[in-house]
Amino acid sequence: MGKIHELSEILSNQIAAGEVIERPASVVKELAENAIDANSTQIDIVIEQAGLQLVQVIDNGDGIEPDDVSTAFKRHATSKITTRQDLFKIQSLGFRGEALASIASVSDLTIETATANSLGTFAHFKGGILQTQKTSPIRPGTAITVRDLFFNTPARLKYVKTFQTELANVIDIVNRLAMSHPQIAFTLTNDDHLLMKTAGNDDLQQTIAGIYGVTMAKQLLSISAEDLDFKLTGYVSLPQLTRASRNYLSIMINGRYIKNYQLNKAIIKGYGSKLMVGRYPVAVLNIQMDPLLIDVNVHPTKQEVRLSKEPALMTLIEKAIYGRLRTENLIPDAVQNL
Ligand code: ADP
Ligand code: MG
């Protein structure tokens, strides 16, 4: 008799959860991204104790049909891709079909969801096991409530930092999601305090004002640039408005917030010699490109991506910022020759 056996679905989901669900902010990110993919125009995020007690994401999006609810919580179950070809032209934020299965496996989770044409559904999972499913009167949209995160994975719970750190992480991710989707109205509430609210009127500068404050938003210059492969729009700060960390640099590609050291470097280079050592500008850049030029299937959290024309994009960003600052006479011609 051999020693090797397949792991149970519950156990393999918990293992997968280790990669995707690191902390409360990961739950917020995955649930809010699902809400965005479901064409929501309003997304309300309610957390308690920085999300360790409770994370609730309520959207007014497409909802899930009753028959699909239990499937949505299976690993590798998704409505977003079907064929291998789809993998090379990802338009949605999700596609791996892992988030719901992972989150449910390490928490106590309830979902209420309805489409425009179906009865609503309520379901309750604990540690990934379905406890109840019944019809529920709910307007079209989805509300998912996650309690007792990591109750059954004590090592992971131990790894979670202070409330302040976890809350800062949640705020950070919600801010980036809101800035990459100015057409969606977001709210974030922690322990009954409203922390963030955006109008959802598709005005990026107003969205930034809702996040970083009106004073900062007023000190931003709009930029736009385009070449055959990329379309770039966004806001960058005047050279005198700087911050001590790169944390105020936000780059979104096709609506996905990504982390990319090289593109950050291009933003900074766009300021020529105008920035003091250790100071960084504020920038929010939305880049549109053919999905064929970007591989998002690099890491489970999908924040790290591979770009097939990265040097060209770097040049476009640097030139756009440099050119804009020069038209404002904020950079003398002689500083840099592009
Ligand atoms: P993925 O987002 O990669 O497809 P998830 O596990 O996050 O995988 O979600 C599984 C499926 O459940 C999604 O493909 C989608 O069809 C459905 N779903 C999840 N959240 C929502 C939501 N808020 N509104 C509508 N459908 C949802
Ligand atoms: Mg998802």
| 179 and 223 housed in the same domain | no
Give domain status of residue 22, yes or no.
Answer: yes
Q: Does pTM surpass 0.90?
A: yes
| ipTM at complex level | 0.99
Structural domain containing residue 315: 219-335
CATH number of the CATH domain containing 244? 3.30.230.10
Q: Strands, DSSP E only, in the chain?
A: 42-48, 54-59, 108-114, 120-126, 129-136, 141-147, 185-190, 193-197, 220-226, 230-237, 249-253, 256-258, 283-289, 294-295, 306-307
| 170 and 317 housed in the same domain | no
For the cut 80, the answer to whether the pLDDT of residue 304 exceeds it is: yes
What is the pLDDT confidence band of residue 186, given thresholds at 50, 70 and 90? Answer: very high
For the cut 60, the answer to whether the pLDDT of residue 337 exceeds it is: no
Mean pLDDT, residues 146-164 taken together: 89
Give domain status of residue 279, yes or no.
Answer: yes
CB 113 within 8 A of CB 138: yes
| 115 and 175 housed in the same domain | yes
Cα 197 to averaged position of ligand 2 atoms, centre (Å)? 23
Give domain status of residue 204, yes or no.
Answer: no
- Ligand 1 neighbours by CB, cut-off 6 Å: 30, 34-35, 38, 59, 61-64, 72, 77-80, 94-101, 142
CATH number of the CATH domain containing 117? 3.30.565.10
Q: Whose CA is nearest to atom 7 of ligand 1?
A: 99
Q: Whose CA is nearest to atom 20 of ligand 1?
A: 34
Beta-strand relationship, 283-289 and 249-253: parallel
Mean pLDDT, residues 244-251 taken together: 95
| 37 and 161 housed in the same domain | yes
How confident is the model at residue 235, as a pLDDT? 98
Question: What's the CA gap between 221 and 325, in Å, rounded?
Answer: 8
Nearest-ligand number for the alpha carbon of 115: 1
> What is the number of structural domains in the chain?
2
| 187 and 234 housed in the same domain | no
For the cut 70, the answer to whether the pLDDT of residue 334 exceeds it is: no
Question: How many other C-beta atoms are found inside a 10 Å radius of the C-beta of residue 174?
Answer: 24
Residue range 9-48, pLDDT digits in tens: 989 988 888 888 999 999 999 999 999 999 999 999 999 9
